[in-house]
Structure 1
Amino acid sequence: MKKRVIAAAIGALCIAPVTHADMLLGIYAGAQGWNTSTSGGFSESSAGTADFDFDSKTNGSVYVAFEHFVPLVPNVKVNYLQLDTDGVTDLSASFEFEGTVYEANTSLLTDASIDSADIILYYEIFDNDLVSFDIGINGKYIDGTFYVEDVDSGESGEASFKGIIPMAYSRVQVGLPFTGLGVYAEGSYLSFDSHEVRDIQAAITYSFVENLAIDMTLQVGYRDISVDIEDLDDIYADLGFDGVFAGLEIHF
């Protein structure tokens, strides 16, 4: 009997660091593939923004989040997203970009490339198996390049822009007990001084691996990003990106 008690105590000591590890530090890492449709356009003046025809593209994003037990110190999430799209538009009116005027009926190749990096500081207001709710701030860094080219003449122009956009952030997740299923909605938003930027997503999740060492969760959802900026490095843009995504998240 004494030996069995000692063995059980030793086993409990060995398991304790693992079972309580998530209380001390939780690491979430994920990747998503996003079938993106793009609408809107860009220009170098508020009066000259044109609507372009963009093709649908597959874009990707990756993220990692660190959660801890230290009071008053926010958790951290870092997200990287690449948005690339292009297309050919037959202009219905003249369009000026980088000092060149492209006349109506010109076939114009347009290319938009935007890299976005989010540094999110957030607090967990609720956190249990049924409901979790986070709130915080997001510093979104964007670095983009817009390119246009006359398909017939080859005349072209290119402009770049970059900046940090402070945004409000929140996330809510609801789980269905004993099923592995859940839903979540997550978003960042800013509306200030003629700039309006939002990044929202909602998904259904399914946890197909759950043990003491690792959790793995599938995600299928919808994401919508809107970028409406005025005079950021002399660039004006009103672009919308939306579509269905699928992802995988790993929780250590």
Structure 2
Amino acid sequence: MKKSLLAAAVLLVSATNAQALVGAKVGYNYWNTANHDGVHNLYANFEHFVPLVPNVAVRYTDVDSKKLKFNSFDALGYYRFLDNGSLDWTVGLGARRFDSGRLKGKGFSSTLPMVNTEVTLFDASRTSFYGKMDWGKNGNTDFTDFEAGVRFKMFMGLRLQAGYRNYKLNFDGTKGINDSERLRGLNLGLHWGF
């Protein structure tokens, strides 16, 4: 009987610890850009406790304006270097795929390798602050994507978030496009961690 109780206690503790070490985050932002109408952005992250295996993030962005139009899909593997409730820091590698792109009447599609870093301050409190940056380059095309903002905890891991995003695309002769375009503006959305 004692062995059965001990085995049950060990299994319960193991299950509780594993549950605490596996998690996911999903979110949606509406980005009100100054010069490219509204932009929709969806993202999801999956985190686990397996050493040396990166966590996974996927994202989707839809830009549809007269001057610039594209869908982008991101896939990232990332590692969490700090996570103590006050400071959370991740670094990752991945790729951003631009599909069905048009800039000033000229079409483009491209896949760019990219690096990513994200920092969150005071994630364990009701009000937290975040910043993230992506940079990618492939041949004569590159982009820089920076976002910073604040999150307010509501209930059950759901947070309201508001921030500012600045996104610059540079084309240097790619597909006959020799131009750059900048998207910037405020965004508002929901972030749910569970």
1:1-252 alignment, distance < 5 Å: 17=15, 20-23=18-21, 25-38=22-35, 56-86=36-66, 111-146=67-102, 158-175=105-122, 179-190=125-136, 193-210=139-156, 215-252=157-194
Q: Deviations over 1:194-227 (max 9, x none)?
A: 43311110011111114xxxx1111110001100
Q: Do the aligned partners of 2:120 and 2:129 also contact (CA within 8 Å) in 1?
A: yes
Corresponding letter in the other structure for 2:88: S
Q: Do the aligned partners of 2:87 and 2:122 also contact (CA within 8 Å) in 1?
A: yes
Q: Which runs of 5+ in 2 are unaligned?
A: none
CA distance in 1, matches of 2:107, 2:27: 29
Q: Percent identity?
A: 24
Q: Deviations over 1:170-207 (max 9, x none)?
A: 00111076x41110100111356543311110011111
CA distance in 1, matches of 2:103, 2:135: 27
CA spacing shift, 1:218–1:13, aligned 2, 3 Å: farther
User: Could you say which structure has the larger radius of gyration?
Assistant: 1
Q: Do the aligned partners of 2:62 and 2:70 also contact (CA within 8 Å) in 1?
A: yes
Q: TM-score of the superposition, structure 2-length normalised?
A: 0.86
CA distance in 2, matches of 1:188, 1:120: 11
CA distance in 2, matches of 1:140, 1:78: 10
CA spacing shift, 1:232–1:203, aligned 2, 3 Å: same
Of residues 241-250 and 224-233 in structure 1, the stretch that sits farther from structure 2 once superposed is: 224-233
Q: Do the aligned partners of 1:163 and 1:232 also contact (CA within 8 Å) in 2?
A: no
Q: Which runs of 5+ in 1 are unaligned?
A: 1-5, 39-55, 87-110, 149-157
SS at match of 2:20: helix
Q: Deviations over 1:13-61 (max 9, x none)?
A: 77974564131x21111000110123xxxxxxxxxxxxxxxxx511111
Relative contact order (C-alpha < 8 Å, sep 6+): which is higher?
1
Corresponding letter in the other structure for 1:67: E
CA spacing shift, 1:220–1:74, aligned 2, 3 Å: same
RMSD: 2.5
